[in-house]
Structure 1
Amino acid sequence: MVSPDDIRRRIETALPGARVEVADTTGAGDHFEVQVAAAGFAGKGLVEQHQLVYGALGTLMQEIHALSLRTSAS
C-alpha cells in the first residue's frame, strides 16, 4: 500500500524545493489527489509537468489506481 508520505518524498526528491500536498481520497492507499508547485515546472506545459511527477513516482504508479494531479510553477 502506498502512503501519502511515500508520494511526497518521491516528488520532493525529484523536484527539490517543490511544495507538495497529497491526500489519500479513499483511505485505501490507491486513490490520491496531489498538488505540486515547483520552480522546475517553469516554461513547461501541463503534460510535461505531469510527466515529471509520474517519473518521480516511478514504480509506485503500479500500485496507484487513480491519481488526480494539479501542478504549477512556483
Structure 2
Amino acid sequence: MDPAEVKALIENGLENADVKVFSDDNTHYAAVVIAAAFAGQRRIQRHQLVYRCLGSLMGNEIHAMSIRAHTPEEWRDLEQAS
C-alpha cells in the first residue's frame, strides 16, 4: 500500500490532522500525526485513534507502523527545541 493511501486514511479519520507517512517497502511505515484530537490523551490512546483509522489494514496490508502522535502545541514546542 502506497504511503499516500495510508496518509489519506488517517486524514479521513482524524479531523484537521496534519499527517506524514513514510515507507521504504510499502508494508512497514512510519507516521507523524499532528491533531488537536490528541489533547488530553495518553500515548496509547493516541495510537489507538490512528489504528482505528486504518481498521483491518493493520496486520494485513500494513505489517508494522511506527507512530509519532502530537497535538499542534506539542509539535510547535518540539520544532522550537530543535
* TM-score (normalised: structure 1): 0.89
Paired with 1:23 and 1:45, the residues of 2 have a C-alpha distance of: 23
The aligned residue for residue 67 of structure 2 is 69
SS in 2 for 1:63: coil
For residues 9-28 of structure 1, give each alpha carbon's deviation from its aligned partner in whole angstroms, at most 9, with x where no partner exists: 1111111110100001x2x2
Paired with 1:6 and 1:59, the residues of 2 have a C-alpha distance of: 14
Q: Residue 35 of structure 1: which of 32, 53, 60 is its match?
A: 32
Structure with max Cα Rg? 2
SS in 2 for 1:47: helix
For these two proteins, the number of residue pairs brought into alignment is 71
For residues 23-61 of structure 1, give each alpha carbon's deviation from its aligned partner in whole angstroms, at most 9, with x where no partner exists: 01x2x2101110001000001110000000000011221
RMSD: 0.9
Q: What percent of counterpart residues are identical? A: 41
The aligned residue for residue 7 of structure 1 is 6
2:48 equivalent to 1:51: yes
Q: Which moved more, 1:47-56 or 1:59-68?
A: 59-68
Mark the runs of 5 or more structure 2 residues left unpaired by the alignment. Answer: 73-82
Greater percentage in helix: 2
Runs of 4+ off more than 3 Å: none
Mark the runs of 5 or more structure 1 residues left unpaired by the alignment. Answer: none
User: Structure 2: which amino acid aligns with 1:41?
Assistant: F
* TM-score (normalised: structure 2): 0.81
